[in-house]
Amino acid sequence: MVFWIKRMARILGFVSFFVVFFIGLDPARPFDPQIVALAFFKGMLGAVLFWFAGFILGDIVFKGLVSGVATSDSDAIDGGLIQRIHDEKKRIDPDAAHPKESKKLKGKIKAEAKK
């Protein structure tokens, strides 16, 4: 995945360099060294900015949308504090860990007890 993020950022940087470079050239004097140097500098600056932005956005898109991590797994990844609290509640009282499931289970037990 990192390979594709880097590749997309590099392609975006190259494309932005050539676009900014050719737009920066003066059609009346395309070989003027001062204009070429200025267009080259603008192109490099645009390429670096677009490469950086492409790398950040690619990282967000590929890792965030494509490889969606389940909420319970992301808790363990993000320091694990919420996951540790959840595990401690489950260790102390299994019903406290999942209140919705425990209510359903208690309702089933009461229904079976009435029969």
Same domain, 49 and 9: yes
Same domain for 10 and 55: yes
Same domain, 22 and 35: yes
pLDDT given for residue 66 in this prediction: 66
Question: pLDDT of 1-39, one tens digit each?
Answer: 788 888 989 999 999 999 999 999 999 998 899 999 999
Mean pLDDT, to the nearest integer, of 75-94?
A: 68
CA–CA gap between residue 8 and residue 15 (Å, rounded): 11
Domain total of the chain: 2
The H or E element containing residue 91 is: helix 81-92
Judgement on whether residues 59 and 91 belong to the same structural domain of the protein: no
CB atoms within 10 A of CB 103: 11
Contacts of 25 (CB under 8 A, 6+ apart): 35, 36, 39
Q: Are residues 7 and 63 in the same domain?
A: yes
Domain ranges, residue 104: 72-114
* Cα gap 109→38, rounded to integer Å: 79
**What digits encode the pLDDT tens for the residues 39-48?**
999 999 999 9
Domain check: are 81 and 26 in the same one? no
56 and 93 share one domain: no
Q: What is the mean pLDDT of the chain?
A: 79
Task: Check whether residue 6 and residue 59 sit in a common domain.
Answer: yes
pLDDT of residue 79: 60
pLDDT in tens, 58-70: 888 877 776 665 5
Q: Is the pTM of this model over 0.75?
A: no
Q: Cβ(18)–Cβ(43) under 8 Å?
A: yes
Are the C-beta atoms of residues 46 and 12 closer than 8 Å to each other? no
Boundary residue ending a domain (31, 48, 68): 68
